Amino acid sequence: MPQIPPKKQMRKSKIEEICCRKYSQLLMALLLPVVIVGGYLCPRLGFIVVGLITLFMIIASKRGRFYCGWLCPMGAFHERFLSLVSRQKPILPLFKSTWFRWLLFIVMMSLMLTRLSLAWGDSKAIGNVFRMMWIISTGMAIGLGLYFKPRTWCTVCPMGSLQGVSSKNTYLLTVEEQCIQCKKCLRVCPISTYPGAYRQEKGAGQVPSIECLRCSNCIMNCPKKALHFADRHQVQEPVSP
Ligand code: SF4
Ligand code: SF4
């Protein structure tokens, strides 16, 4: 029987995931054309973005980047549709570096605040600012996701970084001692986070909030059932690898 090359084997292997996450993402992805295309005719549709920012800030206080993993229209589009044509190359370490994330955050926020100050007093123009921010982000995200993993943008997304720092101690992905560092969690993670790297010799290790979308893919696929979510105070203080 012919041997399947490792790359093809990986693509063929089924990823277990929580099915309601898939449906919530498919539903939320519809908001992307509503805001970007519909906003051309009705710029006030850009205020949907303000509603989503409010929503994720509320969720982040209890569930970290849960919004990114389950509800973000852009993330959903990349994971469910862009993935069909992506070349799926590994995410560059640069995109995971702290300085790069926060540099992008400052650039994007400066751009948005400058445009908002110019549009102030005109609701149509303000709506259009939020729509334009989505167009810029989606454009960059598609560019990255076509070559690298489809959700590469999510490793540097300014809104994701904001949620990550707003939830440093809550609902963290926790790695128990029985982890055998098989790296299956790394292979199924949409943003190439490797939970096994946070395993501790004694007690539990925890993945930093900003590095995890709370999608549960790794939990569902871990052969040793070594992963779960827990608040910081519920486990021994982790030491970064
Ligand atoms: S899949 Fe489970 S056992 Fe394997 S490295 Fe990840 S946490 Fe450890
Ligand atoms: S570390 Fe696990 S829960 Fe977090 S984003 Fe990756 S696969 Fe999802």
HEC string of 154-208 equals HHHCHHHHHHHHHCCCCCEEEECCCCCCCCHHHHHCCCCCCHHHHCCCCCCEECC
Decide whether any atom of ligand 1 lies within 6 Å of the 83 Cβ: no
In a shared domain, residues 149 and 187: no
Q: HSE, CB side, 13 Å, CA atoms: give it for residue 37.
A: 5
Q: What is this structure's pTM?
A: 0.87
The Cα-based distances of 211 to 44, 69, 152, 166, 168 in angstroms read 33, 11, 12, 13, 11
The Cα-based distances of 17 to 70, 130, 189, 219, 222 in angstroms read 12, 32, 11, 9, 11
Decide whether any atom of ligand 2 lies within 6 Å of the 212 Cβ: yes
- Find the domain containing 206 and state its range: 172-234
Residue 239 in any domain: the answer is no
In a shared domain, residues 46 and 145: yes
> Buried b / exposed e across 12-26, counting CB within 10 Å, b at 16+?
eeeeebeeebeeebe
> Which of these three, 138, 166, 194, is where a domain ends?
166
- Span 81-118, pLDDT tens digits: 999 999 999 999 999 999 999 999 999 999 999 999 99
The Cα-based distances of 178 to 57, 90, 182, 226 in angstroms read 34, 27, 11, 6
- Span 9-58, pLDDT tens digits: 444 457 888 889 999 999 999 999 999 999 999 999 999 999 999 999 99
Report the amino acid identity of residue 172: L
Decide whether any atom of ligand 2 lies within 6 Å of the 195 Cβ: yes
- Binning pLDDT at 50, 70 and 90, where does residue 5 land? very low
In a shared domain, residues 142 and 223: no
Residue 7 in any domain: the answer is no
DSSP label at residue 235: S
Give residue 199 CA to ligand 1 midpoint distance, Å. 9
Are residues 217 and 15 in contact, defined by beta-carbon separation less than 8 angstroms? yes
In a shared domain, residues 177 and 160: no
- Span 135-176, pLDDT tens digits: 999 999 999 999 999 999 999 999 999 999 988 889 999 999
Residue 64 in any domain: the answer is yes
Residue 198 in any domain: the answer is yes
Residue 59 in any domain: the answer is yes
Give residue 225 CA to ligand 1 midpoint distance, Å. 8
Are residues 59 and 165 in contact, defined by beta-carbon separation less than 8 angstroms? no
In a shared domain, residues 96 and 191: no
Decide whether any atom of ligand 2 lies within 6 Å of the 65 Cβ: no
In a shared domain, residues 114 and 176: no
- Binning pLDDT at 50, 70 and 90, where does residue 235 land? low
Decide whether any atom of ligand 1 lies within 6 Å of the 227 Cβ: yes
At what angle are helices 47-63 and 158-166 packed, to 10 degrees? 30
The Cα-based distances of 199 to 25, 65, 75, 89 in angstroms read 30, 21, 28, 26
In a shared domain, residues 154 and 180: no
Strands 227-230 and 172-175: antiparallel
DSSP label at residue 89: B
Domain count, the chain: 2
Question: Does residue 119 have a pLDDT over 80?
Answer: yes
In a shared domain, residues 46 and 81: yes
> Which of these three, 166, 182, 215, is where a domain ends?
166
Which tokens is 149 given? Answer: 């993993």
Atom of ligand 1 nearest to the CA of 181: 5
In a shared domain, residues 50 and 161: yes
In a shared domain, residues 139 and 30: yes
> Which of these three, 143, 166, 189, is where a domain ends?
166
Q: Which of 11, 158, 16, 147 is nearest to 74 (CA)?
A: 158
